[in-house]
Amino acid sequence: VEVAGLSTFAVLHQSIGLLGLVGVDRMLSFRIVHTLNNLIKFWGTAISPYLPLLDQLTTALEPAWRLPDNASRLYEASLKKVEKVMSKLLKAVLIIGQAALLRKAIVSELAFSSKLDAHLLSCSVGTLDKSVLNDLRAHFRSNSAVPPAAVLVELNKYLETMGATDPYSKIFITMNEPLDKLSALFLLFVLAYMPKLQYDDQCGALKRVGTNPVDGAPLILGLSTIFKQFHPSYTEQFVSYVGQYVRSTISEAKTTDHLPPNVLNVLIFLQHFARVTKLKPSILHTHIPAYVFDAMSL
């Protein structure tokens, strides 16, 4: 039984109108910003005591192309030591992921409505957007004149109102300093919660098991949104650590007929994470060979 779907947002659009729907979208954006800022504060207070442990883990994992010694023991020991902070991290990740899912549904409704009810305006703004992007590319190539900032601000208002944006690619905050050992901690986060999910072949996604509060889509979108706030090298480092875990687990497996059960969910997670973050397949397959994904029997 569908509790909420795309039709829900069409009804919401009829109830509160265009500006009301845009207001809900902005409110969700502020919720994401608020949660991200709280996560940064939490990192500075609650995660700082674990930085020596994460530093040891990073040293053991580097370089990511090789397999660490006693990998299973290393992951289990590290995971036990940080399990106290995992529940609070999970809460932040799920809040961000759920808000991103809702924003995506709202943007889809706004885009459909603008093309249907204001087709000429939608085409005009789309053309202007492409023109401004071309001007920006020309500026970075040859130091030509950059479009006025006022034009960019005004254009962005039209694009957001018309749903011509990608909520999954938005940068909400800027960081003065990077968060230390971000990739290492979220590696342990993934290892902690992947066993609590199962693959649903009808939906093609990871779903919760029973009444477990962990759900696949919000978790993946929450992580991708967090990593989007940092340099792309953080995302690649995270993927390299997860890929290293997959390779080491397969290497230690006693049977070679099929993939270990604890690896399947991680591989599915990586596929969805790479799709959302628009990670190139070549980068993903650098850390996990393509034939490993082909070996998944879902």
Is the pLDDT assigned to residue 52 strictly greater than 70?
yes
Is the pLDDT assigned to residue 1 strictly greater than 70?
no
Helices 71-81/83-117 angle, 10° precision: 90
Q: Which residues, 6+ apart, have CB-to-CB distance to 182 below 8 Å?
A: 227, 230, 234, 238
Strand partners, 198: 207
Q: Of 65-69, 118-122, 188-192, which has the strongest mean pLDDT?
A: 188-192
pLDDT confidence of residue 271: 93
Is the pLDDT assigned to residue 251 strictly greater than 70?
yes
Q: With beta carbons less than 8 A apart as the criterion, state whether 238 and 180 touch.
A: no
| For residues 39-48, average pLDDT | 92
Express as a percent the part of the chain with pLDDT over 90: 68
- The first and second tokens of residue 293, run together, are 């994904």
pLDDT confidence of residue 297: 60
Q: With beta carbons less than 8 A apart as the criterion, state whether 245 and 187 touch.
A: yes
The residue ranges of every structural domain in the chain are 6-118+162-294, 119-161
Is the pLDDT assigned to residue 298 strictly greater than 60?
no
- The first and second tokens of residue 262, run together, are 């604890």
Is the pLDDT assigned to residue 20 strictly greater than 90?
yes
Question: Within its chain, how far is the Cα of 95 from the centroid?
Answer: 12
Does residue 247 or residue 211 have the better pLDDT? 247
pLDDT band at 209; cut points 50, 70, 90: confident
- The first and second tokens of residue 137, run together, are 């590319």
Sign of CA dihedral 19, 21, 22, 23: positive
pLDDT confidence of residue 13: 92
Does residue 167 or residue 254 have the better pLDDT? 167
pLDDT band at 204; cut points 50, 70, 90: confident
Q: With beta carbons less than 8 A apart as the criterion, state whether 46 and 88 touch.
A: yes
| For residues 216-233, average pLDDT | 95
pLDDT confidence of residue 174: 85
Cα–Cα–Cα angle for 50, 53, 58, rounded to 5 degrees: 120
pLDDT confidence of residue 7: 85
Does residue 145 or residue 15 have the better pLDDT? 15
Is the pLDDT assigned to residue 50 strictly greater than 80?
yes
Question: How far, in Å, are 85, 194, 197, 219, 261 from residue 208 at the CA level?
Answer: 21, 10, 5, 11, 16
Mean of all residue pLDDT scores within the chain: 90
Say whether pTM exceeds 0.75: yes
pLDDT confidence of residue 176: 75
Is the pLDDT assigned to residue 120 strictly greater than 60?
yes
Nearest by Cα to 129 from 121, 119, 141: 121
Q: Of 169-178, 236-245, 285-294, which has the strongest mean pLDDT?
A: 236-245
CA distance 152 to 156: 6
- Is it true that the peptide bond before 213 is cis, omega within 30 degrees of 0? no
Does residue 14 or residue 257 have the better pLDDT? 14
- The first and second tokens of residue 284, run together, are 């993903």
pLDDT confidence of residue 256: 66
